[in-house]
């Protein structure tokens, strides 16, 4: 979830003001410095909806820029995942700068991947999805024709998955009676989806996915893992301002579903690590093959923003009742990556 504009994940009016009145979900400006509450340290990285891309010995961190989401996407770099430098993007720190590709505002939730000798960035702008390319993970990511993927509704939070057979899929959120996660097969050049393959994956129906019973329920921030013949759809539920923002997963034997939500969800939450607003991230592996999940948290116990980037270890372990390997998070491994001064 990105900011307060538009309908994205919007709580019902009554629920929002009830939470505000209770002091749990304040309406604040993300660009402001916060001096009260039990805040995390100032050198934490203020990116929401983060993703980490590893390439040739360097980790690249992108995300929604807190307080500056109308200009594009910063990129930070690291060799050890602990200490980061930047922003290091080719254009004033930006890997994608407004004007070089589609979008005038609301640059949210980027994903970067490499295929066919090019770097791609799938991202949200103006509550549409676009895909830009670059010759470097530092950018500039550009489009020859500045245009989003065609869609009849607002859509956000793209995640491109390329399966072992080379087929490409776009997982994304459509704003239709709530934030609902959809999937469709893509054309080989990533320029469009194959409409006949479009289908809904999941929506917020479990109690933990809508803890305030919002009229506009939210599932968002999809990412996909494949383990053997099983596909894992990892997502975040609840409005991003809600302290109960949390991560769960569903499984399927096909990238197009149907999806079965797993009973051990949520696997990352306030209850698990003791910090509000945990969610909307992406998986990556380090240079040794260890699986990690990068995500964001609230700024403090009393302030939502600027949201902070966090990292935890993840793994497949054990088996559930239906013989499915469980996706687990190591809560004790949680840390905030630090920005080198």
* Interacting residues of 43 by C-beta distance below 8 A, sequence separation 6+: 338, 339, 341
Query: What pLDDT was estimated at residue 323?
Result: 65
CB 60 within 8 A of CB 81: no
Please tell me whether residue 15 adopts helix, strand or coil conformation.
helix
Radius of gyration of the chain (CA): 18
126-147 pLDDT tens trace: 999 999 999 999 999 999 999 9
Backbone phi and psi for residue 186, each to the nearest 5 degrees, phi listed first: -105, 160
161 in a structural domain: yes
Reported as a pLDDT band with limits 50, 70 and 90, residue 102 is very high
User: Average model confidence (pLDDT) for the chain?
Assistant: 90
Determine the distance from the C-alpha atom of residue 110 to the mean position of all C-alpha atoms in its chain, rounded to a whole number: 8
* Interacting residues of 39 by C-beta distance below 8 A, sequence separation 6+: 299, 300, 303
Number of domains into which the chain is organized:
1
Query: What pLDDT was estimated at residue 340?
Result: 86
What CATH number did the domain enclosing 276 receive? 2.115.10.20
Query: What pLDDT was estimated at residue 26?
Result: 39
Query: What pLDDT was estimated at residue 183?
Result: 99
The residue segments making up the domain with residue 305 are 13-339
Residue 29 has pLDDT above 70, yes or no: no
pTM beyond cutoff 0.85? yes
4 in a structural domain: no
279 in a structural domain: yes
246-262 pLDDT tens trace: 999 999 999 999 999 99
Backbone phi and psi for residue 110, each to the nearest 5 degrees, phi listed first: -80, 155
Residue given tokens 């803890």 in the structure block: 211
253 in a structural domain: yes
7 in a structural domain: no
1 in a structural domain: no
Residue 204 has pLDDT above 70, yes or no: yes
275-317 pLDDT tens trace: 999 999 999 999 999 999 999 999 999 999 999 999 999 999 9
Q: Cα 241–238–53 angle (5° rounding)? A: 80
Query: What pLDDT was estimated at residue 132?
Result: 99
Query: What pLDDT was estimated at residue 271?
Result: 97
187 in a structural domain: yes
Higher pLDDT, 157 or 320: 157
Average confidence (pLDDT) over 178-186: 99
3 in a structural domain: no
């Amino acid at each position: 979830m990105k900011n307060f504009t538009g309908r994205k994940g919007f709580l019902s009016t009554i629920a929002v003001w009830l939470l505000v009145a209770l002091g749990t979900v304040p309406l604040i400006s993300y660009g402001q410095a916060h001096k009260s509450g039990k805040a995390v340290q100032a050198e934490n990285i203020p990116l929401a909806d983060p993703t980490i891309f590893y390439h040739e010995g360097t980790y690249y961190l992108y995300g929604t820029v807190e307080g500056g989401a109308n200009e594009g996407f910063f990129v930070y770099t690291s060799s050890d995942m602990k200490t980061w430098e930047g922003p290091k993007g080719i254009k004033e720190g930006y890997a994608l700068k407004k004007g070089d590709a589609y979008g005038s505002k609301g640059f949210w939730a980027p994903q970067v991947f490499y295929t066919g000798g090019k770097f791609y960035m799938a991202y949200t702008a103006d509550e549409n999805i676009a895909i830009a390319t670059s010759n470097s993970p530092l950018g500039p990511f550009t489009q020859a024709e500045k245009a989003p993927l065609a869609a009849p509704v607002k859509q956000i939070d793209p995640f491109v998955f390329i399966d072992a057979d080379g087929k490409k899929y776009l997982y994304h959120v459509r704003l239709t009676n709530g934030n609902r996660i959809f999937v469709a097969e893509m054309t080989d050049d990533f320029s469009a989806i194959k409409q006949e393959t479009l289908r809904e994956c999941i929506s917020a129906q479990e109690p933990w996915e809508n803890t305030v019973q919002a009229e506009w329920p939210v599932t968002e921030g999809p990412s996909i893992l494949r383990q053997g013949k099983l596909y894992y759809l990892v997502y975040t539920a609840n409005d991003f301002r809600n302290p109960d923002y949390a991560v769960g997963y569903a499984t399927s034997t096909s990238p197009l579903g149907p999806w079965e939500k797993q009973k051990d969800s949520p696997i990352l939450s306030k209850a698990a690590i003791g910090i509000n607003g945990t969610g909307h991230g992406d998986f990556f592996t380090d240079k040794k093959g260890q699986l990690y999940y990068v995500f964001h948290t609230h700024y403090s116990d009393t302030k939502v923003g600027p949201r902070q980037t966090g990292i935890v270890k993840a793994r497949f372990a054990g088996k559930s009742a239906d013989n499915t390997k469980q996706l687990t998070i190591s809560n004790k491994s949680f840390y905030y990556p630090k920005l080198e001064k």
